[in-house]
Structure 1
């Protein structure tokens, strides 16, 4: 697979995942425009995430059943339609329906990750997954900043309409240049396909291990990014929304640096990369805790955290997909369910912890998730070493 096609998929991933996160800076404007109470505006994020979670189970596995290019193009067109629906909605109920569909179609991101791994040569799978996943992280981190700027210039509806236009452009490019793939020769029915997604948790030990890492690292990621606005926007810092959004650029630097982790996985260094990244993730909470004393230290913590999370995330997917193209979509869907669970748990706990004990307690919470992931990796390493020693002794006998 040519590198520019990988970059095209990464760009599409960034736009697709941005559709889930562009609402966060716009909630107040949306509530005011539609005459909705502030207490209800949280449903905007809630229904979008619910649609995304549903799509992981019902849509992503279809990549192992139908031709992936056709599935991806269909998702792009439906997503653009849903975004237009959001931008044109004049009633609260219609807005929530359109947002649910937006989240449902945003799982095209996982279809593209599996697509990239399938198209790449075996020795380059990790590199391809790293590049495409880098687009995902860029989309998450830049969506809030970009949507705020566009909304300031032309209103919140223009954000969704512009995003719909961008997705239609990407659909045209992918239709023209993206190579097709052949679906599996022996394909199960849809219900059996969905059932096999859940059976993977029971039978696939690597998925359980990497899914646990995914849950814990994204819980830590969500602890930071869902609560950092609270100390930054209040006295004594009292930063503006634009200034807070600029910290996303620090996260981008870390994410881009970690996108090469897939190459290390291709070279058989996935376990070592995981351990080093988890140790760095745990340490990143130390400078983050000093937000009230030094914004530079806080920015350093953000860079380290995003670097570590991205490195583990890329390694997880690279190891899961290596040599298993027929299961790629189901493996990604199952893994990303762990990601969604971790993100939700981290966000809920972080807001409650901050309200009761403040920012230092939030940092302790994030460090606890990070240390738990590192502890799991160390325990698994001891288990692997013991198993290897047992096999060696058996061969000697």
Structure 2
């Protein structure tokens, strides 16, 4: 029951990072922002997320994770309300950067869950929580598009704020009250220990770079996808665009399976296969204007591949230093956020310059770099 609750919490929290993607076109029209610059909405959220990963997530190894989770969810609700009331693009960017900052509660939840597991089941348990994260991303895309068509994009953020308040109340009742981190150092020492972990643990370094690359590819697809699908040539509604989030079911399956494979020593095999699939997925994705069905196939393959690598990455790094789980996950996810932010900005810029073909070439190039990097570093991790 507790793992299910943590999975749900992680899912609704991560949804705040991704629910803007089907709304970009509506936001651009409402606030008078060009298509080439509206990707900054996603970039601002990811920048806030990156800052939270470094400054907030490590606190899970020092303070009560229960208290940290509750405070972050309640503050997130406040910033979501601010975003829903924004009447300028600048205020919206600031609000969503703050939402991204608080959304790092997802990683506190992952670290919390990892401490509940025995070593031989850690990958499986992390996979279960990650399945909740993938479902949160799926529902964010699916429901935000539908709600935007019914009541405007601002209603999406108002609803998410209300859901966060309810969730915080439930967690206050259900979460264990004694989960104090074991590390006795102060906050400054805690932050300084994160770079030291990168220096001492090659698995963390390699897997962090892989996270940056795969999530850059992930963000390249999902940030730009709404733009061609909204054009008159295709003419899909925000609800229909949100349905593409159903492809995330494949990511849920990948997360569950990859965690189990990591537990039995097959993390490298899973990584290699998934990176090959990631590269191949861009061929059907490039066929957007020829066939929506072919596009959907490519999206499914890409989501499956990204989540398989992501869960494998987390399982491997958490096995290195279990006592530093919050710092390991936080440091790893900084690279995830850098990749997502860079991919978001680059994808809309590529679309404005070279259309959908330019986006696909960019995504394939990043995917190829990830595959080559894994092959070169495979002997060590």
TM-score by length of 1: 0.87
* TM-superposed deviation, 1:42: 5.9
> Which sections of structure 1, spanning at least 5 residues, go unmatched?
385-397
Task: Report what 1:38 is aligned to.
Answer: 33
Secondary structure, aligned partner of 1:221: helix
Q: CA deviation at 1:217?
A: 0.7
| Structure number with higher relative contact order (C-alpha < 8 Å, ≥ 6 residues apart) | 2
Provide the C-alpha distance between the structure 1 equivalents of 2:50 and 2:128, rounded to a whole number of angstroms.
Answer: 23
| SS of corresponding position for 2:378 | helix
> For 2:92 and 2:278, how far apart are their aligned partners in 1?
38
For the Cα contact (< 8 Å) 2:60–2:181, is it kept in 1? no
Alignment of 1:101-120 (within 5 A): 101-120=98-117
Moved more, 72-81 or 83-92: 83-92
Are the equivalent residues in 1 in contact too, given 2:20–2:42 (CA < 8 A)? Answer: yes
1:288-303 correspondence to structure 2 within 5 Å: 288-303=285-300
CA shift digits 1:333-372 (9 cap, x unpaired): 1111111111122223323333333333432322222222
Candidates 242, 249, 253, aligned match of 1:257? 253
- Counterparts of 2:333 and 2:183, CA distance in 1: 25
Q: CA deviation at 1:379?
A: 2.0
* Aligned counterpart in structure 1 of residue 355 of structure 2, from 354, 358, 378: 358
1:318 CA drift (Å): 0.7
Which residue number corresponds to residue 211 of structure 1?
A: 208
Moved more, 169-178 or 375-384: 375-384
- Give the Cα–Cα distance (whole angstroms) in 2 for the partners of residues 98 and 73 of structure 1: 19
Q: Please say if 1:198 is aligned against 2:183.
A: no
Unaligned segments of structure 2, at least 5 residues = none
- 2: distance between equivalents of 1:364 and 1:185? 47
Distance 1:149 1:220, change over 3 A: same
- The TM-score normalised by the length of structure 2 is 0.90
Residues 125 and 266, structure 1, Cα contact 8 Å, conserved in 2: yes
- Contact map agreement 1:122 1:323 (CA 8 A) in 2: no
Distance 1:21 1:258 in 2: 19
Q: What CA distance in whole angstroms lies between the structure 2 residues aligned with 1:228 and 1:97?
A: 24
Cα offset for 1:63?
A: 0.4
Task: Please give the root-mean-square deviation of Cα atoms over the aligned residues, in Å.
Answer: 2.5
